[in-house]
């Protein structure tokens, strides 16, 4: 009998599989397809202080072994999320949920996190300082250790729940940024967000995406994500949540051996809405295949 349970920042999960923000809505949409309580938890759609329509269309471009998106954090704003989305989410999901937060200023991050911190069902605050699809926010905080640390300190000052900083791969030294976040009080680190990419339509000779560039995700980025999870988990002592191109139970095991305490599944949910469920169901057999009796025992064993 294998043990799939893991602990993330003091909260126990039935398994380490977490659908990533932006690929799972607010949960209840997927609850129409299957019982989402089979998941460890999920990170709901990126939430900002004010409502956002997002970027102009087209926002999506397909590519080999992945996709590019430039949705631009479309969401109804934190007050509407608390008033409308969380009550519906609560009817479909009985476990603590991960709240994903973005901002355009340090004050934005603190304001939004302070409100979500009061919500009973929110277990963790995943603070996104790494979105490549918006101008003047998101990734601009995550590419500089001092800026990432400033956001971390501001959020920690107004919250009691675990704060996990979500980092960008579009940097020279991601471990340095992770260390800065840990030193500023972060309870965990999640990575990676999407790589910056683009496509050009040979017929029009113009970029496919209206925003020109967007976030590249999917199986093609898995080796890069795995490398960065390995580097960061060696550099910090707080838990790491690994993501980036995860598409199978074997990928989950590999991410955990690289140092991840839990693993997020992103683009694969858009390819197959049952992807996260299938990974949860396949995990015990994959563990038996590789002689793993407890997932917590393999965290960081590749180091």
Q: What letter does residue 43 receive in the DSSP assignment?
A: B
Instruction: Report how far apart, in Å, the C-alpha atoms of 54 and of each of 100, 115, 271 are.
Output: 16, 22, 22
Q: Quickly tell me which residue has 């993330």 as its tokens.
A: 8
Triad 283, 286, 288: Cα angle to 5°: 110
Helix ranges (DSSP H) in the chain: 28-31, 78-80, 86-92, 106-117, 139-142, 145-156, 174-183, 222-235, 249-258, 268-271, 275-289
Return the CA Rg of the chain.
18
- Which of 9, 113, 131, 181 is flagged as catalytic? 131
Q: Is 131 a catalytic residue?
A: yes
Q: How many residues does the chain have?
A: 303
Which residue from 269, 281, 302 is spatially nearest to 69, judged by alpha carbons? 269
Sign of torsion over alpha carbons 280, 282, 285, 289: negative
Q: How far apart are CA 123 and CA 13, in angstroms?
A: 11
Identify which of 69, 1, 32 has the alpha carbon closest to the alpha carbon of residue 270.
Answer: 69
Which residues make Cβ contacts (< 8 Å) with residue 145, sequence separation at least 6?
A: 176, 177, 179, 180
Catalytic site positions:
131
């Amino acid at each position: 009998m294998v043990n799939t349970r893991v602990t993330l920042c003091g909260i126990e999960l039935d398994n380490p599989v977490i659908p990533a923000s932006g690929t799972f809505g607010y949960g209840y949409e997927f609850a129409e397809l299957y019982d989402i309580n089979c998941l460890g938890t999920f990170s709901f759609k990126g939430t900002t202080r004010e409502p956002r329509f997002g970027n102009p269309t087209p926002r999506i471009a397909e590519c080999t072994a992945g996709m590019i998106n430039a949705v631009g954090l479309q969401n109804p704003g934190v007050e509407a999320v608390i008033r409308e989305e969380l009550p519906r989410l609560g009817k479909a999901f009985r476990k603590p949920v991960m709240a994903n937060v973005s901002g355009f200023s340090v004050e934005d991050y603190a304001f939004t996190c302070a409100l979500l911190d009061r919500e009973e069902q929110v277990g963790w605050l995943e603070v996104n300082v790494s979105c490549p699809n918006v101008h003047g926010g998101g990734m601009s905080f995550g590419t500089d250790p001092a800026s990432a640390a400033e956001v971390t300190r501001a959020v920690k000052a107004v919250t009691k729940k675990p704060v996990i900083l979500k980092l960008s791969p579009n940097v020279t030294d991601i471990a340095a940024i992770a260390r800065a976040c840990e030193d500023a009080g972060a309870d965990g680190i999640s990575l990676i967000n999407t790589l910056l990419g683009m496509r050009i339509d040979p017929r029009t000779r113009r970029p496919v995406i209206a925003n020109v560039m967007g976030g590249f995700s999917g199986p093609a980025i898995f080796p890069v994500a795995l490398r960065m999870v390995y580097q960061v988990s060696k550099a910090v002592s707080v838990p790491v949540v690994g993501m980036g191109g995860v598409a199978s139970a074997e990928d989950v095991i590999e991410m955990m051996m690289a140092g991840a305490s839990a693993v997020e599944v992103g683009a694969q949910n858009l390819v197959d809405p049952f992807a996260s469920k299938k990974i949860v169901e396949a995990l015990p057999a994959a563990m038996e295949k590789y002689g793993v009796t407890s997932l917590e025992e393999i965290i960081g064993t590749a180091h």
